[in-house]
Each structure stands twice: as C-alpha cells, then as structure tokens.
Structure 1
Amino acid sequence: MAQDKRPYIVVVIIQAIYTGMFILSKAALDEGLSPAVFLFYRQAVASILLVPITIGAKWGTQSKLSFMLLFKIFMLSLVGITVGLNVYHIGLKYTSETVASAAFNAIPVITFFLAFLLRMETLKIRKSHGMAKAAGVALCLAGVVVIAFYVGPTIHPLNHHRLFHPKGGSQSETHSNGEWIKGTFLLFFANTAWSLWLVMQGLILKECPSKLLLTTLQCVFSTIQTFVAAIALERDFSKWKMGFDVRLLAVVYCALFNAVISWYLQAWCLQVKGPVFVAMSNPLAIIFTVFSALIILGETIHLGSIIGGILTVAGLYSVLWGKNKESKISNSENERSKGQNTEQEVVVPIDETDSESSSRRLDVSV
C-alpha cells in the first residue's frame, strides 16, 4: 500500500516545486534578468551540483553509453530544456505566474495525444475507464479555456502587501494586450515542447542505465546549449551581472529544487507510472499558485481562475481513476490467465508394451 501511494505523493511534491518556480521566475524577470541568461545560470548551477553526486554514486552500472543514446539525450535536452524553457521564460515575462500555471494545464492534453499516437497509452472509449480518461482530458481543456477567456468577479487578496515588488508597477500597467496575447501563445508553445519532452524521456529511460545519470546529462548538455543561446540572444553583458536579491534566489531555487530534485523525481515517476500520469498532475500547480498569489503575494484573483482550477483538478482525478481502474482490470486478467495455465493437465503417453513399467504403475496405484 505504501508503494502504491508513493507516486501520488511524489507528483504533489513536484507540482509544489513548480509553483515556487512560477513565482520566483516571474519575480526575477520583473527585476530585469534576461530570460536566456537566467536559464543558463540555473542549468550551470544544477550541473555543478549534480556532476559530483553522479560521479560519487557511480550510477550503479558498468555498461557504456552508446553514441546514439547520448545523441538522444542531447536532443531531449534541446527540446525540453533549451527551447522549451527559453520560450517559457519569454512568455512568462509578458504575462503572469497565474497565467503560466494555467497554461501549464495544457500539458496533460498534449501529452495524452502524443502518448496515444506513439501507442504508449490506450483509449477504449466503450469501457468505463476509457470514458473516464477522455472526460478527464476534456475537463482539463475546459478548465484552461475558462481561465483564458472568463475573468469574472474579483476576489480581493487577504494580504495587501506584495512579497516581491516589480520595477515596472502592476502587470496591467507593464503589459499591453498584444504582449499578453503573445506571451500566452509562447507559453502554450513551451508546453508543447514539454509534452514532447515527457514522452521522449519515458522512451529514453528504457535505454538509460540510471535516472540520476539521465538527469545529470540533461543538465550538462542544456548548460552548453543555453550558453550558446544566451550569447546569441543577450549581447548586453551588463544584464549578466547578479546581485544578492530575488534574481540570485530564483537561480538557486530553480537549479536545486526544479532542475535537480523535481527532474529526478519526475524521471522516477515516469518510469513507474508513465508520462500521462506525470502530466495529469499539473493542474495541482494552479491551485498552489492561486493560493500563494492570494495569501502570500497579495495579488488579485478572479473567479474564472478558481472555476478553471476546479475543472482541471476534476479532470485530473477522472483520468487517474480511469488509469487506476484500467490497471486493476489488466492485473486481474493477467492473474486469471496465469491460473488457467497452471490448471492445464500434461498428458504423458504410456507404452503398454513395457510390462515392467506397467507393473510398477500397478503397485503404486494399489
């Protein structure tokens, strides 16, 4: 029972870490930190932390990594980290942490379709578990649509003092409608890259000898890639300077908790439960983010965000219920098949001409 609960506890921890990433990343970008430079710094710090740990652990194998596997991990880092996170940080700069966490909920929908196309997931629509999975994906999509297009009444914050004060004032003052739309589009593009990253990671884990090694190699490769991207995108080297403020806090937090801890936990969860299970936990991030924005950050929340969050969480539980029931049915069918195989009799032909063996069988029967 304890082992059955571990993946559920792990995904909650992962989403709590992502919530901190949303909030601190937005605060760092509002302080003027370049998105490309921010990503390079966090990946470099993560690599510095992970490489000694991986060498010390000896990653439990003597097998050599093939060139093809290294190339796959390099491309995995390029798609999910270098491209995905760079686009995400640019989109986050033009929007807010609440919108980022809301857009994050598109990942389960995209991941499910990618996994379905790659035959990593099944959808038996005539079965109850298949209908539950389809309904869950629809609810998640509906939640994203509600958050994006319905504002609703304003809910005033319980805390009227912002923890972080952006240099440009409030969000409505610093971002035009065009920037907001562009930022939202970029966030959804980043989510598509992350969905592909989750699916590819699930496939590569079958070849890679260690989850820790996979996490470390992704950080090392992405450090090189993001450095090249930062040099190309940010020519003003004054923006590379760091101080003892929220920018440094964001880099250290994202490197330690997001890139090191959450990615390792995510790799473990991918191996145990698959990419769709991990992606379907993303709606929890918006609940944590809305709570943090309302209680801690002193931000104004709209009713549309709460309704959308409820819909996405309902979709999460619907898909998890469907996957759980599908797993139970599959396990019972396997046990029934094994039971039928053990009950089959093996008939051994008897040679009637062998009088000695016949008499021996007669004595045993008497």
Structure 2
Amino acid sequence: MKSFLLGCVATVEKNRPYFAMLFIQFMYAGMALLSKAAISKGMSPYVFVVYRQAFASVALSPFAFFDSKQSAPLSCSLLCKLFLVSLVGLTASSNLYCVSINYTSATFAAAATNTVPAITFIMAALIRVESISIKRVHGLAKILGSVLSLAGAITFALVKGPSLGFMKWYPENQNHSSHLLTTVHSKVDIVRGSLMMLSANTAWSLWLILQGFVVKQYPAKFRLTAIQCLFSFMQSTVVAVAVERNNPSAWRLGWDIHLLSVAYCVRVYNLILHA
C-alpha cells in the first residue's frame, strides 16, 4: 500500500503541469455553473463583472505587493498599454461571457472555453508569433486539434438536447421555469449567445497573446494582473452604471448564490495564477 501511494505521488509530481491543467478545467466548469446560476436568479451580468473584478483586485493586492520581480517602475506608456489590454482581455471578454451565458447553457460555456487554445493558436499564427509546420507531426497535430476544438464548440451551439432541469430546487427558478426555458432554448437566443461567447473567447485569446509582449517589458506578473483587474473594475463600473442606471437594486449583494459565485470566480483567478 505504501509503495502504491509513493508511486501515485511520483506520477503526480512527474505530470504536475497536466494535472494542474485538468484541475483548472474543473474549476472553469464550476465557474460556468455558478455564474449561470447567479445570472439566472436575477443578478445583472454587468454588475457581476464589476464585483468580480473588484474582489479580484483586493485578493491579488497582497501578492502584487510582495512580488519581487520588479525590474523598473511603471511608466505612463506601460500603464496606457495595460489599460487597453485590460479593456480587451478582461472587460470586454468578461462582459461578453456573462451576457452570453444568460442565452446559453453552463455546459456550452464550459465547453466553449476549450476553444481558447485553438483561437489563440490561429491568431498567433496570423500575426506570426506562432509558426506552423505542416511537414511535421506536431504542426499537423496543432492544426487538427484547433479544427476539432472549434467543431466541438459549434456542435454544442447548434445541437439542442433535452432539458436537464438544472437547479430547479431554487424557488425562483420554479416560479419562472417556463420563462427561463423559453429564453435559454429559443433558436435565436442560442445563436446570439454562442456568437457572443465565441467573441468573448476571441478577446480572451487576444489578451493571452498581448500578455507575452507586456510581460517582457515588465516581468512582475502579479503586479501586472492586479493592475489590469483594477483597470477592468473601473471600466466595468462605467459600463454597469450606464446599463443599470435605472435599476439601483441590481447592485444589491446578499448572502446568497450571487456572493458565492463572485467569491468562487475570484478564487479561480488566484488558482490559475499559482498554477
């Protein structure tokens, strides 16, 4: 038994990056489920993003403060770049994601996340950051993997399965079940939500590519992420105030699924950074 446990530990240690990636995918699935639950229960997707970015900024502040990888002070030029990168990769991506999840299912949201590597690879190849070699096995594997990933996302978007009755134990969902089913499963909303979700993933992929250039200029990753979350919080606040200006109750946050979803998403941010 002891040798078996030691063997398992050795296997996990040897394949740590792969296990970390699988764990992050599970966390992403939980984030999609809780985000869908909170927004379906009535939370504004724009306000959801504001709270998530605010909590993330606070949670990352201690790590940013003690980050030792600081090569030079932040310049005005770099801050402007971070503001624009945050606008694309965090603000636009998060708002599109949270709005689209109201029109699609949590299953599609979790599955569509797998298109990010494929979209990133395609965009990186177009701007010549990534090289493609169709004469080698790894080059063909990248192309085939990208095609299969995008094909799977399209299949999830177009193929409609039976309703699973997710989270019907909520009284609010029981009272409004017919309205929710009509909203989520109408063909127009599914296509609209799928396109918005793919747009969110495209913005996220662009953000990943831009991170490579920004990190080379300023290698303090925790500081960069905390600053971007802060910028995204300010940008998302402007968007949410503009959209929810006639609905002050949308900003109410109690001890319910809304707060749990926001806290969970912040926790996923931290885990991804540590992974």
Please, what TM-score do these two structures have when normalized by structure 2? 0.85
In the TM superposition, residue 65 of structure 1 has moved relative to its aligned partner by 1.6
- Provide the residue aligned with 2:8 in structure 1: none
- Provide the residue aligned with 1:192 in structure 2: 202
**Aligned-residue CA RMSD (Å):** 2.5
- Provide the residue aligned with 1:52 in structure 2: 62
CA distance in 1 between partners of 2:224 and 2:142 (Å): 30
CA distance in 2 between partners of 1:238 and 1:146 (Å): 38
In the TM superposition, residue 212 of structure 1 has moved relative to its aligned partner by 1.0
Is 2:41 the partner of 1:34? Answer: no
Structure 2: runs of 5 or more not aligned: 1-10
**Does the aligned pair in 2 maintain the 1:46–1:219 contact within 8 Å?**
yes
In the TM superposition, residue 190 of structure 1 has moved relative to its aligned partner by 0.9
Is 2:133 the partner of 1:133? Answer: no
**Does the aligned pair in 2 maintain the 1:43–1:259 contact within 8 Å?**
no
Amino acid at match of 2:90: I
What do residues 290-332 of structure 1 show as CA deviations (whole Å, max 9, x unaligned)? xxxxxxxxxxxxxxxxxxxxxxxxxxxxxxxxxxxxxxxxxxx
* Partner of residue 113 from structure 1, selected from 97, 102, 122: 122
* Partner of residue 214 from structure 1, selected from 224, 227, 250: 224
**Does the aligned pair in 2 maintain the 1:92–1:183 contact within 8 Å?**
yes
What do residues 183-222 of structure 1 show as CA deviations (whole Å, max 9, x unaligned)? 1221111111111111111221222221111111111111
CA distance in 1 between partners of 2:14 and 2:73 (Å): 33
- Provide the residue aligned with 1:169 in structure 2: 177
What do residues 60-83 of structure 1 show as CA deviations (whole Å, max 9, x unaligned)? 435212222222221111101111
Change in 2 beyond 3 A, CA 1:227/1:243: same
Is 2:257 the partner of 1:246? Answer: yes
**Does the aligned pair in 2 maintain the 1:109–1:137 contact within 8 Å?**
yes
CA distance in 1 between partners of 2:265 and 2:13 (Å): 28
CA distance in 2 between partners of 1:161 and 1:65 (Å): 46
Structure 1: runs of 5 or more not aligned: 267-366
Indicate the percent of aligned positions where both proteins have the same amino acid.
41
CA distance in 2 between partners of 1:207 and 1:165 (Å): 51
What do residues 249-298 of structure 1 show as CA deviations (whole Å, max 9, x unaligned)? 1111112x133332x246xxxxxxxxxxxxxxxxxxxxxxxxxxxxxxxx
In the TM superposition, residue 4 of structure 1 has moved relative to its aligned partner by 6.6
Amino acid at match of 2:190: W
- Aligned pair count? 260
CA distance in 1 between partners of 2:203 and 2:119 (Å): 10
CA distance in 1 between partners of 2:250 and 2:101 (Å): 18
Change in 2 beyond 3 A, CA 1:196/1:161: closer
Is 2:89 the partner of 1:80? Answer: yes
- Provide the residue aligned with 2:80 in structure 1: 71
CA distance in 2 between partners of 1:251 and 1:45 (Å): 8
Counterpart secondary structure, 1:93? coil
CA distance in 2 between partners of 1:24 and 1:225 (Å): 23
Query: What pairs up with 1:250-269 in 2 under 5 angstroms?
Result: 250-255=261-266, 257-262=267-272, 264-265=273-274
Query: What pairs up with 1:212-361 in 2 under 5 angstroms?
Result: 212-235=222-245, 236-255=247-266, 257-262=267-272, 264-265=273-274
**Does the aligned pair in 2 maintain the 1:77–1:219 contact within 8 Å?**
yes
Counterpart secondary structure, 2:46? helix
